[in-house]
Amino acid sequence: MTNYVIDPPAISAVPVAGGGLFPVRRVFCVGRNYAEHTREMGGDPDREEPFFFSKPADALVINGADMPYPSKTKDLHHEMELVVAIGTGGKDIPEAEALAHVYGYAAGLDMTRRDLQGEAKKAGRPWDMSKGFDQSAPIGEIAPASHSGHPSAGKIELTVNGRVRQSSDLSKLIWSVPETIAYLSGLVALAPGDLIFTGTPEGVAAVERGDVLEGEIAGIGTVRARIV
């Protein structure tokens, strides 16, 4: 028996559609992976290679639980995303083999303290505290790829209080899921339990306490969060 000097942390896990839990190891996020969102954030979608940031595994919010409005911000933004759940790991994974490493997919929200992110960008500092704060990643159930298939197209949409804020199609991803997995696995060895948030379409905007966010990805599932 391992003699830990403190109690080990709980394993973060996401419910799987049909039953069971997906244990989460790491959470990677792709920045600026839809052309229109890249433009609205001041970037050039034709020149930029993919880049990544991370969130802690325990930042995930499951089962439609409320999300507390975080401290140290006055500009909390929603970012609706397709999430890829890695089932088998690997390094330098060829693009043609990438989908064989996917366990399933989910709808997720990359919540962002936009004012802190803007300040960090201006100062040339890391984004960590604008992206990786507590409860910054609401996520819906994971749909196993054995049932959902591997989506390359389909509506991705987010409503806030019943009004559409973001609406696009997965076919508009600049870097597809296989390309993203192949590129990321060249930077780090992917492992079972890793999640990849694949980027958000245009329409990101601020939310307030009391707002209800409801997102859906065709053929995959939904995510819901109320800001409190």
pTM to 2 decimal places: 0.95
Domain layout of the chain by residue ranges: 16-226
How many angstroms separate the CA atoms of 112 and 195, rounded? 18
How many angstroms separate the CA atoms of 36 and 58, rounded? 30
Per-residue pLDDT tens digits for 167-189: 999 999 999 999 999 999 999 99
Number of C-beta neighbours around residue 26 at 10 A: 16
Residues near 14 by beta carbon (within 8 Å), at least 6 away in sequence = 21, 22, 24, 60, 62, 85, 106, 139, 141, 142, 195
Query: What is the pLDDT, as a whole number, of residue 24?
Result: 98
Query: What is the pLDDT, as a whole number, of residue 32?
Result: 87
> Which class for 208: exposed (0-12), middle (13-18), buried (19 or more C-beta within 10 A)?
exposed
Q: Please give the torsion angle defined by the CA atoms of residues 153, 137, 25 and 23, in that order, rounded to the nearest 10 degrees.
A: -80
How many angstroms separate the CA atoms of 128 and 117, rounded? 8
Q: Nearest to residue 173, comparing CAs of 84, 86, 55? A: 84
Per-residue pLDDT tens digits for 99-121: 999 999 999 999 999 999 999 99
Per-residue pLDDT tens digits for 120-159: 999 999 999 999 999 999 999 999 999 999 999 999 999 9
Query: What is the pLDDT, as a whole number, of residue 155?
Result: 98
* pLDDT band, residue 165 (cuts 50/70/90): very high
* DSSP codes, 182-195: HHHTTTS-B-TT-E
Q: HSE (CB half, 13 Å, CA atoms) of 176?
A: 11
Q: Which CATH superfamily is domain 16-226 in?
A: Fumarylacetoacetase-like, C-terminal domain (3.90.850.10)
Do 195 and 59 form a contact (C-beta atoms < 8 A)? no
Per-residue pLDDT tens digits for 73-107: 999 999 999 999 999 999 999 999 999 999 999 99
